[in-house]
Every structure is written in C-alpha cells, then in structure tokens.
Amino acid sequence: MSLIGAGLGVIAWGAIAGVTLGALAPSRARALVAGVLTSVVGAGGVLAGLAALGGQGWSLTVTDLLPLGAMTLAVDALSGAFLLLVGAVAVAVGVYSVGYTGPGGRHGAEPDATSGDTTALAGPSSEPGAAGHAEGAASRTAQSALPLFVAAMLLVPAAASVSTLLVLWELMALTSLVLVLAEHRLRASVRDAGLWYAGMTHAGLVAIMLGLVVFAAGAGGESFTALRAGSGDLSPGTRSLVFVLIFIGFGSKAGMVPLHVWLPRAHSEAPSHVSALMSAAMVSLGLYGLIRVGFDLLGGGPHWWGLLVLTVGGLSALYGVLQASVAVDLKRLLAYSTTENVGLMLIGVGAAGMFAADGNRILAGVLMAAAVLHAVNHAAFKTLLFLGAGSVLRATGLRDLDLLGGLARRMPVTTALFAVGALGAAALPPGNGFVSEWVLLQGLIHSVTATGSPSVVAALSIPLAVGVVALTAGLGMVTFVKAFGVGFLARPRSTVAAAASESPLTMRAGMFLAAAACAGLALAPATAGAPLTRLLRVLPSVRDGAPLADSGIALRLAGIAGSMSPLLIALGLLVAGASVAALARRVAQGRPRRVAQAWGSGGARLDPRMEYTATSFAEPLTRVFDDVLRPEHDIDVTPYVESRYLIESVRFRQRVPDRLEARLYPPLLAAATRWGQWSRRLANGSVHRYLAYGFVGLLSVLIVVGISG
C-alpha cells in the first residue's frame, strides 16, 4: 500500500473510532479521546499530503456504495497540498481541544459580544462557566462530530467524481453545522449563527451541484477523468455558466464578499478550536474547489473569468480588513480577517487566470503559487490566532477587546504565541504572511511589464490590484496592532481580565505547534518550491516552469527580477534589536538611576480608564471610511438627581454593522418569505391539483428534452 493509501486509511478508521468512542467514552475521558483521535486523523492527512507533494499518485473506485454512482477517490499534488494544510491544522487543534474542552475555565462569551455594541469600560458580564460549557463543546455530540468533520474535510480534496464530491461536501457542511451549534443552549446568538450558516452553506451547495451537473451532462460522465476529457466539447456559454455557478458555490464557502455574512457569525459563535478548523482549513477548500474545477477540469477559460475573480477578491480583501479594523469582538475581528485573506487568495487566482488566458504561463504560475502559498500561510497564523483567542476566552469568558488588557503578565505564553500569529497576519517581516503577500505583490507589479504589450483591461486592473494589496496590508497591520496592544498589553480593564491565568499545557502545546509552522513557513519558504512546481503541473493552463527557484536560503521567483531572504531579514532584525539594546545599556552605564512616576497627562495616578480601548483606537479609521462603514453612535447622559445640570455619568456606545448585509439581504429574505407564503397556496390538499402539477412537470421535461435533443 502506498503512503497516500495508508494516510487515507488512517483518516477513515480514525474518524470511525472518533465517532464511536466520542459517543461512548465517559465524560472524564471524552475530551482526551476526541482530541487524540482528531490529531490522528489529521496526521493521516499530513502523511497523504506529503506523499502526494513528493510525487506519488493514488486512486480508488468503490462501486455500489453511493446511490448515484461509484465512490471515486484520487490524489494528486493539488489534492496533496490541501490534505497537508487541513491535516496540519487538525493535528494542532486536536492537541489543543483536550485542554479547551476539559473542565475549568470560563467558556462563555458576553451576551452581546456579536452584536457589534461596545460599552467603554463597562464591567464584565456573567458567564455560564464550565458547567454550561459541558453542554456545548464538551458534549458527546460535539466530541463525536469533531474527528468526523476533520475526516470529511480531508476527503474532499481526494474526491474524483461529482457524486463523491457532493456527498463529502455535504458531510463536511452538516458536521460543521453541528459544531457551530454546540453551545446553542448557552446563547441565542449561536442559534442565529447556525441558521445563517445552514442557509448560506446549502445555497452554495445548490450552486455547486447545478454547475457540476451541467458540466457532467455536457461532458458525458461524472468522473473527473470524463470531465477533463469532455470539457473541450462544451460550448463557450455552457463553460461560462459552469464556471460562474461553481465560483458562487465555492466562493460562498470561502467567505468572499457578498456571500460572507455567515462567516463572522459562525466563526464567532463556534467553540474556538472549531473556529480555527473552519477559518484556517474549511474556507481553504473553497479555494481548492475553484482551482480544481476552473483550472483543472475546465482547463482555464477566457480573460473575463480571471477578471471576475480578481474583482471579487479585491472587494473581499478591502471590505474584510475594514470590518476587522473596527471590530471589538476578538473572534469577529479574526473572522473578518479571514474574508480579507480569502480576498488576497482570489486576487492571485484571478490574476493567474487573466495571464493564463493571455498565454503567459510563467507569470500565471507565479501568481497561482502565491495564492496557494498564502492559503497555507493563512492556515498557520489563523489557527494560532483563533487558538489564542480561545485561550483568552477560556481564562476570562470575554471576547470584547474593550474589557481585556493586561494579559501579558497573567498569560505570558499565550501572549507571546498570539504575537507570532499577529505578526503573520499583519504581513510584517519576519512573519509568514509577509512571504506570500510579497510573492503576490511581485507577481502583480511585474505582470504588466512582463507581458510586453498588456491589454487595456490588464493595464487598468493590475495596478488597482497592487493598490488594494498594499492598502490591505496597511490596514491589516493597524488591525493586529489594535488586537494585540489593546487586548494583551497595558492594564486590565475588567476584574476577570485582572484575574486571568495561563491555559492548560495541552492548549499551549497546540498553539506552539501552530507557531512552529508559522516560523518554518516564514524562515524557509524556498522549501515550498518543488511541491508548488508539482502542484502547477496538474493545471493545464499554468503547468510550465517552476514558480520558486531553488536558491538555498533566498527566495527567487521564476521570470521576475526579484528575490529576498526571510532568514537574513529575521537575523538582521535580531541583530539590530540587540545592538540598540546594547547601545542603550552602554549609554546608561555608570549614570545614577532615578525612580519617578511616568507622566500621566496631568493626573497623579494612571487608571485603566485612561487607556486606549479598541473602539477609540479604531476611531480615526472609522472617520476616514465613514461613508463605507456608517457607524451608529449612542450617547446616554445621566445627570444627578439633585440637578440636571450636574452630570453623574456619560455612556458611549458604538455599533458598526455590516452594511453590505444590511443592504442586500433583508430584501432577499423578504422576497423569499413572500414566495414561501404564496407557494403555500399551491398545497391545498387537492389530489387532482397535485396530479395536474405532476402532469405539467412531466410534459415540461419532455418538451425540454425534445428541443435540446
């Protein structure tokens, strides 16, 4: 048996054991069993992914297993990249979940955490505590669903037929929905998030199913082999219809704008280790589906396909980072950051599609490699950030940055590891996010000059894309300076933050694994050159050349005059920091020291109320982007009873709603409600009417078949 087959076998048997033992194990051992088996399932994905990226191939067909056809599995280098991504995330999450779902800690969030409201320096709200949490993430249902969810995600890239992909995609959606609803008894907002997630994910499934069914009907078969062979026989209109449908379906799972509305809800309300799996791994499968169908099965397409993906990616990146920059709920901030990073991936995929259509395969390969590399980097730092947010939530019961602060002294390990993830998410060197964004920018900047005579569309869209990536990087840096500085530094702004304690060992171990992945990807990205080359060979339109040249510690791009060495950058920063510290100590040596109180803006004593909150930190950005964000303010002034001219307290509240959601979705939901109410009239209980419906439907199908035949 090949290593790929062995890895997939570990995934299958680990999932079966996880479901069985997760349901039968006693409560004291349930967290350990589920966590270990989740890591085992993830390890199977890592094994299969490494083997596939190393050049191995594997396939399997099981007949009479699915009602619509045989179950067909096949693994190539493209599948291997996402098997490795999902598996590595699952290993860290499995270790982390042992401590997170164990007894102790405050796992509930403040009741209005997802509403967008912030009350400056209010006291902490009550939390359900560990007893309530046992009914949620630590329940038998949730613990049984966790390894099954991971297994479903790992098998999606291995699917090699339409029916197999749809079944596994739906299994992934249902198990993730169960996990999102794990704490539905604790907060009403969880139930609301579950409804939005269920509606959006199944709408996306319908779009994917329609696109693949149309594709399979035109190609004359449902296996991926038949789809590749028959894609050339489809008319341009049919090919475009298939691409648009699968772009909508897979894009909704990835969280692209405007189909992102489920993401900040579900990722905020799910248990933190589940949020890490969904944000770091599951959304990446939306990118996988788009690349697999659009660039592999369809073999690429016209110029406007890439322009469509590029435009939506740019809008997603900008809107996601704007919402993240003003968010005060830590997990909501990370969720919108996911939309931002998915947008960056789509920019790379869209630009690759544009240049592949122009025949520039080398440049298309660099941009596609940048998109996949950013997906891997995003998986690493977003796993770490969500696990860090879960550590804070377990210790304090809070997600509101305005009520945190002072955690650096009380949770030093969590603080240091969260800083590693924040560095990657801010795209600053030596963070791992900087590497893939640098590759993306290099590909975009050199694209116009590399083509010699660019089209008008490329000449206009590519510079705009460069500006979007640059602006996104700047706003992302502000976002994570706010998240880390306000949430972890300064003084605590609530009693629970002041009483926080460090997380259990297994939680810290899971975060350390994610941090180690971030460090490896940041310091040695050139090692991804050979795997990315094998991945691109799967895609007909971008299979020429190696995107990353094998140049030791330096990172060089094929066909582009640009290189850098992340390791040398990190060493330079380390030497510069040590030199400044040594110089400062040298200057101060021999001078008398005075202990004096720091300047406190005229006050004799510093108080947490004098600190920046997340709301005040983001206030300048809120003003600059007022036309886009449209924040809502509420000021309550309470006078003394003795005199209305003397003010006892002033209460300020700010809410930054999702304006795209507010503008687009209420009319759609209202129309759906009216349609549902009208359709109820069709079902009046009359058998004759039902027979007439069947006759008209059958007649319509026969007419369509006769015309099309």
**Which 8-state DSSP code applies to residue 400?**
B
108 three-state secondary structure: coil
User: Which of the two residues, 460 and 326, has the higher pLDDT score?
Assistant: 326
Averaged over 286-301, what is the pLDDT? 93
Averaged over 203-213, what is the pLDDT? 93
Contact 389, 334 (CB under 8 A): yes
User: Which of the two residues, 112 and 652, has the higher pLDDT score?
Assistant: 652
- Interhelix angle 566-588/505-523, rounded to 10 degrees, is 110
Q: Percent of the chain scored above 70 by pLDDT? A: 91
Averaged over 129-154, what is the pLDDT? 78
In the chain, % helix, strand, coil (3-state, to 5) comes to 70, 5, 25
- Interhelix angle 412-425/432-445, rounded to 10 degrees, is 0
The pLDDT value recorded for residue 65 is 73
458 three-state secondary structure: helix
The pLDDT value recorded for residue 449 is 62
The pLDDT value recorded for residue 665 is 87
**Which 8-state DSSP code applies to residue 597?**
P
Tokens at 292, concatenated: 């697999």
Averaged over 425-441, what is the pLDDT? 91
The pLDDT value recorded for residue 189 is 87
654: part of which helix (H) or strand (E)?
strand 647-655
pLDDT in tens, 559-600: 776 678 888 888 888 888 888 888 888 887 777 777 776 666
Q: What is the CA radius of gyration of the chain?
A: 26
The pLDDT value recorded for residue 125 is 34
pLDDT at residue 134 greater than cutoff 80: no
User: Which of the two residues, 172 and 102, has the higher pLDDT score?
Assistant: 172
The pLDDT value recorded for residue 104 is 63
Tokens at 364, concatenated: 């298309």
CA distance 525 to 679: 56
Highest mean pLDDT among 38-47, 527-536, 565-574, 591-600: 38-47
Averaged over 315-321, what is the pLDDT? 94
pLDDT at residue 397 greater than cutoff 50: yes
The pLDDT value recorded for residue 672 is 84
Which of 339, 251, 338 has the alpha carbon at shortest distance from 294?
Answer: 251
The pLDDT value recorded for residue 461 is 86
The pLDDT value recorded for residue 637 is 82
The pLDDT value recorded for residue 119 is 35
pLDDT at residue 129 greater than cutoff 80: no
On average, the pLDDT of the chain sits at 86
The pLDDT value recorded for residue 117 is 36
Q: What is the pTM of this model?
A: 0.90
Between 287-291, 478-482, 609-613, the lowest mean confidence (pLDDT) is in 609-613
Contact 227, 235 (CB under 8 A): no
pLDDT at residue 155 greater than cutoff 70: yes
pLDDT in tens, 69-108: 778 999 999 999 999 999 999 999 999 999 898 776 555 5
pLDDT at residue 376 greater than cutoff 60: yes
The pLDDT value recorded for residue 105 is 55
User: Which of the two residues, 675 and 8, has the higher pLDDT score?
Assistant: 8
Contact 134, 27 (CB under 8 A): yes
pLDDT at residue 652 greater than cutoff 80: no
The pLDDT value recorded for residue 241 is 94
Cβ contacts of 2 within 8 Å, gap of 6 or more: 51, 56, 58
675: part of which helix (H) or strand (E)?
helix 659-679
pLDDT at residue 127 greater than cutoff 70: no
The pLDDT value recorded for residue 73 is 92
247: part of which helix (H) or strand (E)?
helix 236-254
Work out the pLDDT band at 320, boundaries 50, 70, 90. very high
pLDDT at residue 17 greater than cutoff 60: yes
Tell me whether strands 117-119 and 69-75 are parallel, antiparallel or unpaired. unpaired
Averaged over 224-246, what is the pLDDT? 92
pLDDT at residue 551 greater than cutoff 70: no
Averaged over 202-220, what is the pLDDT? 92
Cβ contacts of 72 within 8 Å, gap of 6 or more: 59, 60, 61, 62, 159, 160, 161, 164, 223, 224
